[in-house]
Structure 1
């Protein structure tokens, strides 16, 4: 499940730096969450950090992006995989 920032967002800027996956960004009017990067903090924390710091409680589960815990773990591992850099000699 990815999370979603609703129109109740007041652009307070507290959620964006809390996201360990850098999934939160400033959209045209309010902050938004990239569902391809959001793992609901699975692999990093026990609870979504953006939800914890949001002063207006405007970050529910996105009904368009429901995922199982297993899928969130798979996404976490995919996002954390390191691609080796080949250095020319």
Structure 2
């Protein structure tokens, strides 16, 4: 798979390493996940490690904002059936 990235996809070793780093940060330790990262970067025109860092920061920032939005919901009106006492 690494040879495919290098030879066929013409991805630089530094960018492959950045994809590996991103994969580890996401807790996904398999080549298919790294492959998806690299293909997505290629589709977006990301060819340098610096561009990859910026894309990663943007992705994580938007993901964090989405998680904050979900956690900002008022859940006080939900009834917890598991704590019901008879």
If the length of structure 1 is used for normalisation, what is the TM-score? 0.31
- Between Structure 1 and Structure 2, the one with more strand by share is 1
If the length of structure 2 is used for normalisation, what is the TM-score? 0.32
Q: Rg bigger for which structure?
A: 2
- Between Structure 1 and Structure 2, the one with more helix by share is 2
